[in-house]
């Protein structure tokens, strides 16, 4: 059986990268810190976008607020200036202040002039609410947790209920961290686009597994399409901030393919950045369709991978989420 079962055969059109992870984009690294003691079902996931001093060598970036039910930090300035100048930390809603503090301190360590002789730094900390399984009021995530995630960053990393994804829920199943990548060529050059998601959204009755409903078409959930999803897109192509914003918007197509209608209570945010600092090549607008298709595919697969690798575990108050993998095997799909 393939990673997703028989039903996945022939679904994807764009070739995948070697790892099928966001780290197929050269220079990108990811790490996790997971907390599972006591009432904790949470953690932090860190994304280092590129090597070098990000504050001194900022990356072109763009973002789309698909639905703005969220409490993230740093999005406003990123949208205004089109620049990414810190690593990205993902965690639960109440951990945003801690993650922001760690990113600021991390930047000051490399750039002692920040906030004095130099401008302040725009830290990017993004969140989803893991309160179904995690006792979010306990504030389990500390500065040490966030530091541990940054320190563990590398090219290979786990998917599913780990790091920031430990307590997340997607379409009624265990969700969490997912990733995928796509390769494409134009103008005799090959580029990579990678996606990483923190998946915590969706209504079980609307879920589409490779276009197929898993339940009765007349079934309806008592809960609405809510939760959140954070989508991070990386590419080594020389896109500018406006083009990256256009690419980030196409994440919404993937969410629709999965069955989400972007409900009122869902915080759906997509951030895209380019690791190309030389910018000696220009990508024309008419070439962006290749990026748009790659984005829709990579984000859709990343969400499915988050769910496929999600683990069923009891929450702090006894709640437990089913595993998509077990359900698919039982259905023999």
Q: Which residues are catalytic?
A: 228, 266, 268
CA-CA distances (angstroms) from residue 145 to 114, 121, 228?
24, 21, 22
H-only helix segments in the chain: 75-81, 96-110, 143-151, 241-249, 251-258, 289-308, 324-331
Q: Characterise 115 by phi-psi region: left (phi > 0), alpha (psi -120 to 50), beta (else).
A: left
For β-strands 266-274 and 208-209, DSSP reports them as unpaired
If we measure between CA atoms, which residue out of 103, 104, 135 comes closest to residue 119? Answer: 104
Helices (H), 125-167: 143-151
Beta-sheet pairing, 42-48 with 29-35: antiparallel
Report whether 51 contacts 153 (CB < 8 A).
no
What is the rounded distance in angstroms from the CA atom of residue 158 to the CA atom of residue 166? Answer: 11
Strands (E), the chain: 29-35, 42-48, 59-68, 83-84, 88-92, 124-128, 169-170, 173-174, 176-186, 189-200, 208-209, 212-213, 227-235, 266-274
In angstroms, the first-to-last Cα distance of the chain is: 9
Q: What is the CA radius of gyration of the chain?
A: 19
CA distance 322 to 107: 40
């Amino acid at each position: 059986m393939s990673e997703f079962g028989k039903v996945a055969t022939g679904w994807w059109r764009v070739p995948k990268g070697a790892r099928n992870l966001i780290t197929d984009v050269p220079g990108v690294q990811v790490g996790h810190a997971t907390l599972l003691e006591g009432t904790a079902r949470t953690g932090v996931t860190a994304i280092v976008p590129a090597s070098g001093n990000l504050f001194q060598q900022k990356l072109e970036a763009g973002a789309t607020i698909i639905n703005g039910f969220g409490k993230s930090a740093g999005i406003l300035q990123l949208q205004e200036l089109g620049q990414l100048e810190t690593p990205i930390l993902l965690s639960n809603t109440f951990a945003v202040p801690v993650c922001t503090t760690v990113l600021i301190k991390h930047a000051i360590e490399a750039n002692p002039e920040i906030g004095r002789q130099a401008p302040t730094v725009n830290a990017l900390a993004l969140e989803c609410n893991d309160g179904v399984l995690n006792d979010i009021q306990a504030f389990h995530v500390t500065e040490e947790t966030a530091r541990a995630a940054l320190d563990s960053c590398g090219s290979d990393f786990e998917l599913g209920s780990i790091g920031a994804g430990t307590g997340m829920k997607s379409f009624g199943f265990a969700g969490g961290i997912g990733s995928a990548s796509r390769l494409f060529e134009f103008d005799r050059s090959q580029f990579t686009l990678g996606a990483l998601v923190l998946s915590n959204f969706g209504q079980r009755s609307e879920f589409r597994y490779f276009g197929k409903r898993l339940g009765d078409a007349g079934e309806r959930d008592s809960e609405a399409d809510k939760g959140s999803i954070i989508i991070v897109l990386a590419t080594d192509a020389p896109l500018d901030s406006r083009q990256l914003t256009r690419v980030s918007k196409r994440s919404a197509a993937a969410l629709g393919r999965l069955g989400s209608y972007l409900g009122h209570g869902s915080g759906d945010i997509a951030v895209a950045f380019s690791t190309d600092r030389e910018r000696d090549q220009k990508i024309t607008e008419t070439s962006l369709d290749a990026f748009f298709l790659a984005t829709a595919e990579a984000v859709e697969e990343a969400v499915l991978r988050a769910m496929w690798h999600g683990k069923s575990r009891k929450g702090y108050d006894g709640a437990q989420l089913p595993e998509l993998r077990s359900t698919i095997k039982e259905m023999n799909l």
